[in-house]
Amino acid sequence: MSNVTRQKKVKNLSGERWKKIETPRPTLKMEYYVSNKGRIKSKSKNDGSEHTLNPTPDKKDYLKSSIKLEGGSYGLYVHMQVAKYWSKKPKKKNATRFIHKDLNRLNNKADNIVWVTEDEWKEYIRARAKKYGFTPHRKGGKPKLTEAKVRKIKEHLVKGRMPKSKIAAKYDVSHTQVNRIESGENWGHVKVPGFIANSNKMKSGTKKKAAKKTVAKKAAAKKAAPKKKAAAKKAAPKKKATAKKTTAKKTVAKKAAPKKKAAAKKAAPKKRATAKKTTAKKTTARKAAPKRTARKKK
């Protein structure tokens, strides 16, 4: 934004009006507005200066601008904002989609963005595919390549300047699809001067993928092995702990046995002392008996 030339106020187009855009998170330095003519502008929170954004088309030709919000960037789609703030929803409750009436996704004026039902939206997709030469998949999903696009892909492959990953991104196909076109497995009937199908690349690529899968499986097995060992080690201490508890109980019992014996020994002398006292009394009584007898004789 530092290289952007800002102005006090953006000059409006004929009949142009603006509405402030509510963003999902707070904005940082700017506020954003969308017009009924399909334009988006930023307005500085500090000095009120304005600037019209220059959205770029994505892979599906929808115009999009990246703006800065708290927590990161946010993609602002022009047609969505126009539909939300300027296109009138019909009275039908099931009108949940919006389309470009003239099939041109670069025309985002309010009168070109209309709300439709699900069935009307499907009809719009078919009409647009027919106009631009798309052939949809039988089972739905992304449209297949056209011969015109395949020729361009093969021309890029002949030149060899653009990486296949970028070719795939440019024509909205997978990297595998580009490889199959290069090998002649797909679209072999489309002829381009200087293009020669290289089937060896496809074969070697398949082998490499298989080798990678094998390596990945081995790596996964190696990673799993330490976990099993660790689980076994965790289980082993529990058994040891149980054995230690049993041993500890036995040790306590052994320690307690001498105490019981000592208690028994302490109790035994008392019994003996009592028995000795009884014997002493009996002896005293016997000694005293002759004296009593002698007294009687006198």
Q: What is the pLDDT of residues 33-62, one digit of tens each?
A: 999 999 999 999 999 999 999 999 998 889
- For residues 249-270, average pLDDT: 67
Question: Cα separation of 91 and 117, whole Å?
Answer: 11
- pLDDT reading at 258 higher than 90: no
Q: What pLDDT is stored for residue 239 in this prediction?
A: 59
The mean pLDDT value of the chain amounts to: 81
What local confidence, expressed as pLDDT, does residue 28 receive? 92
What would the pLDDT profile of 14-28 be if each residue is shown by its tens digit? 999 999 999 999 999
Sheet holding 30-35, edge to edge: 18-20, 30-35, 40-44, 50-52
The yes-or-no verdict on residue 230 having pLDDT over 80 is: no
Q: Taking residues 219-239, what's their average pLDDT?
A: 69
Using a pLDDT cut of 90, give the percent of the chain over it: 36
Residue 6 reports pLDDT greater than 50? yes
The structure tokens listed for 195 are 């293009």
**pLDDT exceeds 80 at position 255:** no
Pull the structure tokens for residue 222: 């190696």
pLDDT tops 70 at residue 298: no
From 5-19, 48-62, 213-227, the region with the lowest mean pLDDT? 213-227
Q: What pLDDT sits at residue 296? A: 59
The mean-pLDDT minimum among 32-46, 110-124, 257-271 falls in 257-271
Supply the pLDDT for residue 153.
93
* Predicted pLDDT of residue 63: 95
Residue 1 has a pLDDT of: 47
Amino acid 202: pLDDT: 42
Please give the pLDDT value at position 211.
Answer: 66
Instruction: Determine the Cα–Cα distance for residues 112 and 55; give it in Å rounded to an integer.
Output: 18
The confidence score (pLDDT) of residue 170 equals 87
Q: Could you tell me the pLDDT band of residue 292, with boundaries at 50, 70 and 90? A: low
Place of tokens 């929808």: 62
CB hemisphere CA count around 79 (13 angstroms): 22
Q: How confident is the model at residue 291 (pLDDT cuts 50, 70, 90)?
A: low
pLDDT tier for residue 29 given thresholds of 50, 70 and 90: very high
pLDDT band at 225 (very low <50, low <70, confident <90, very high): confident
What pLDDT, on a 0 to 100 scale, did the predictor assign at position 144?
Answer: 66
Query: 180 vs 256, which has greater pLDDT?
Result: 180
CA-nearest of 143, 91, 212, 111 to 99 is 111
